[in-house]
Amino acid sequence: MKVSIIGLGRVGSTLAYTLLLKGAADELVLVNRTRERAEGDALDLQHAHLFIDSKIDIRAGEIADTAGSEVIAYCASAPWKDNFNNRLDAAVANTRLMEELIPALAEASPDAKLVVLSNPVDVLTWHAIRLSAFPPERVMGTGTLVDSARFRELISAQVGIHPSDIRAYSLGEHGDSQFLAFSGAEAGGEPLEDRPDRRAMFERATRAGYEVFNKKGCTNYAIAMAAAYVIETIRADARHTMPLSTLIDGTDKRGGYAGVAGVCLSVPVVVGREGIVRWMQPELNEEETQAFAHSADVVRAAIVGTLGG
């Protein structure tokens, strides 16, 4: 499988290394605004490849070299500015950058699955669908995948059950308005009770990204591992269920949640070789339905703020 990574900052470089370690691609093309950076990463990864058994062709390239990619991992971002307070503050700059890149990438690989890692991921996933003209099932953002995993880890320690046996999804925006769908959460088949201590755990899980960023200036390992998991699932047609940012269009097929339509938000989806193969329809209680609608309003306002700039 040919995978192209667009943007070789901390996240893109870590994703390339993770895919190498996992043997999750047969061909890896690295594209960066500064060609020399991509060449350096490619050379370093080629040297790392000498110590593992999997066979993978790794090279730097331009957008033309991504032609025929089965997966495009979009990690490109404008530089973070000191006056940015959250992910939404980067929306306009990253939208302008995406407008430069996505049409050419889509033309080079018209059948690709596009995985968006850059923030604000919900806004950019929406723009990626618009700019690529790909069907929504082939465009997905990493969304609340890491947030949900962090929460499951915290709950795992409390209830003494492995995180993989816990079903609990953070839904909505990958940002301050996301919420935990406690009404459908369960651990080992038992309902996961909505309690104040668990809400505090969820708050801790959702703020963890900011904590990491404040301490080291970026987040890269967890998001790269999450994106690699998505790509592995596509490669293997594994049909795993995970919360990803996807277009909510108000239909039964693609998330008929709370009358929301026209935005990208995280909901549980099934991922396979063709991208998103099924949108799950968890039953939300009244509070969660309102939270989902609020999250949609937040993302919709951010999208409007990026148009026509």
CA–CA distance, 126 with 123 (Å, rounded to integer): 5
Say yes or no: 14 and 136 in one domain.
yes
Choosing from 106, 141, 176, the residue where a domain stops is: 141
| Bond into 120 cis (ω within 30) | yes
Choosing from 122, 141, 160, the residue where a domain stops is: 141
Give the pLDDT of residue 257: 75
Q: What is the mean pLDDT of residues 224-250?
A: 96
Give the pLDDT of residue 282: 87
162 is catalytic: no
pLDDT tens digits for range 105-117: 999 999 999 999 9
Say yes or no: 164 and 283 in one domain.
yes
Residues across the chain: 309
List the single range of 10-24, 100-114, 119-133, 250-264 with lowest mean pLDDT. Answer: 250-264
Q: Identify whether the C-beta of residue 123 lies closer than 8 Å to the C-beta of residue 302.
A: yes
3-class state of residue 59 by DSSP: strand
pLDDT tens digits for range 205-218: 999 999 999 999 88
Give the pLDDT of residue 107: 98
Say yes or no: 296 and 155 in one domain.
yes
Give the pLDDT of residue 53: 87
Say yes or no: 162 and 180 in one domain.
yes
Say yes or no: 107 and 222 in one domain.
no
- Taking all residues of the chain, what is their mean pLDDT, rounded to a whole number? 94
Distances from the Cα of 150 to the Cα of 18, 116, 118, 207, angstroms: 19, 20, 19, 10
Helix (H) / strand (E) element for 246: namely strand 240-248
The dihedral over CA atoms of 171, 172, 174, 178, expressed in degrees to the nearest 10, equals -70
Say yes or no: 126 and 273 in one domain.
no
**Marked catalytic residue, from 47, 49, 127, 174:** 174
Say yes or no: 134 and 153 in one domain.
no
Q: Tell whether the model's pLDDT for residue 88 goes beyond 90.
A: no
CATH number of the domain bearing residue 193: 3.90.110.10
The dihedral over CA atoms of 19, 270, 87, 10, expressed in degrees to the nearest 10, equals 0
> Phi and psi (nearest 5°) for 97?
-65, -40
Say yes or no: 172 and 216 in one domain.
yes
Question: How many structural domains are present in the chain?
Answer: 2
Q: Tell whether the model's pLDDT for residue 27 goes beyond 90.
A: yes
Say yes or no: 205 and 176 in one domain.
yes
CA–CA distance, 294 with 286 (Å, rounded to integer): 12
Q: How confident is the model at residue 191 (pLDDT cuts 50, 70, 90)?
A: very high
What percent of the chain has a predicted confidence (pLDDT) above 70?
95
Choosing from 85, 117, 141, the residue where a domain stops is: 141
- Which strands, in side-by-side order, build the sheet including 71-74? 57-60, 27-31, 2-6, 71-74, 113-116, 139-141, 240-248, 263-272, 275-279
CATH number of the domain bearing residue 108: 3.40.50.720
Q: How confident is the model at residue 85 (pLDDT cuts 50, 70, 90)?
A: low
CA–CA distance, 177 with 39 (Å, rounded to integer): 39
Q: Tell whether the model's pLDDT for residue 309 goes beyond 60.
A: no
Beta-carbon neighbour count of residue 272 at 10 Å? 17
Say yes or no: 103 and 188 in one domain.
no
Amino acid, res. 227 = A
Say yes or no: 157 and 196 in one domain.
yes
User: Residue 212's domain spans which residues?
Assistant: 145-306
Give the pLDDT of residue 1: 97
Say yes or no: 134 and 156 in one domain.
no
Q: How confident is the model at residue 281 (pLDDT cuts 50, 70, 90)?
A: confident
Give the pLDDT of residue 84: 63
* Helix-then-strand count for the chain, H and E: 8, 14
* ∠ Cα 251 94 288 (to 5°): 35
Burial of 237 from C-beta contacts in 10 A (0-12 / 13-18 / 19+): exposed
